[in-house]
Amino acid sequence: MIVDDATFVRNRIKKIVGKMDFAEVIGEAGNGEDVISLYKDLKPDLVTMDLVMPNYDGLRAIEEILKFDKAANIVVVSAMGQELSILEATEKGAKDYIKKPFKDDDIYIIIERLLRKNKK
């Protein structure tokens, strides 16, 4: 699942995931509030999470998802200058982070590592 308030970021991540033979995008959300209900319905193997969004921010969404599923794989994808928020997100339970602007390989490598680790 891809969570970002910027449609172009969601589309870019979706394009990267589309090239993976071991993953697919099953849902998208443009704010932290929508992702919580979507997560409960879809139960994705991994979520890419922006931190700065309308309604709930990414930190609050991470907390709510982890209350529902302590094993959730959440990867923060956030802009440079958000280092304190990224640190807070990993302390709350995010598994990894990618700084924007990102390279396609950054997304690919982290998603592959987390998904393949869970398949073992």
Which of residues 36 and 55 earns the better pLDDT score? 36
CA 68, CA 39: separation in Å to the nearest integer? Answer: 9
Q: Which residues of 78-95 are buried (b: 16+ CB within 10 A; e: fewer)?
A: beeebeebbebbeebbbb
**What is the value of pTM for the model shown?**
0.92
**73 secondary structure, DSSP code:** -
Tens-place pLDDT, residues 48-87: 999 988 888 999 999 999 999 999 999 999 886 777 788 8
Query: Could you tell me what percentage of the chain is helix, strand and coil, using 3-state DSSP and rounding each to the nearest 5?
Result: 50, 15, 35
Fold of 2-114: Rossmann fold (3.40.50)
Q: What is the mean pLDDT of the chain?
A: 92
